Amino acid sequence: MDHSKTVFLDRDGVINEDSPDYIKCWAEFSFIQGSLDAIARLTRSGWSIIVITNQSAINRGMIPLAELESMHRRLRRAVLDSGGRITDIFYCPHRPDEGCGCRKPKPGLIVAARDRYGIDLSRTVMVGDSAKDILAGRAAGCGRTVLVQTGNGKAALRSLDENGQRPDHVAADLDRAVRWILDPPGARP
């Protein structure tokens, strides 16, 4: 598959509703309205979708790895059933105190995806709902970053603005982010 156009998506707060108690099983997984259709539109437009997600609930002992993998299989199936395709899912199981290189805002997961698929990161878009997502996209060299206002997006925008790290675009949700990705300003003659 051609990965010249790749969108990296955070999971919780972008594709599905986030929870301060973590998403620990499929019963707690609830798609944000319009997210499945948005992923399907990206797929139909020739974009590869790779999910990049921090999942410290693993190393916190809150969820077995097998349960996370089961949720991700079901996520991929729901996306397929809606006409989309997730190329891969990269996750960081580490707690913040473990000092790994893969936990966002560090770029390790995006770099691993680049290496696995031969992606030119300058042509990619990172979409997330937190400052960590935007900072990881920037640190990895993603061409554009988009902050969605679902999940933690509103607080993240304040934090990013205060630190001079504003994303390239702010969208209400994944649906609006995809509209901007597929038809960016200045793209029409």
Q: Which of 2, 10, 129, 133 is catalytic?
A: 10
Structure tokens at 107: 């770029």
Global pTM reads 0.94
Catalytic residue among 12, 18, 133, 173: 12
Dihedral sign from CA coordinates of 188, 147, 47, 120: positive
**Model confidence pLDDT, tens digit, residues 66-120:** 999 999 999 999 999 999 999 999 999 999 999 999 999 999 999 999 999 999 9
Known catalytic membership, residue 133: no
Q: What is the pLDDT of residues 158-183, one digit of tens each?
A: 889 888 899 999 999 999 999 999 98
Place of tokens 């209400």: 172
d(CA 119, CA 82): 25
d(CA 173, CA 85): 19
CATH for the stretch 6-182: 3.40.50.1000
Residue 12 bears catalytic tag: yes
What letter does residue 32 receive in the DSSP assignment?
P
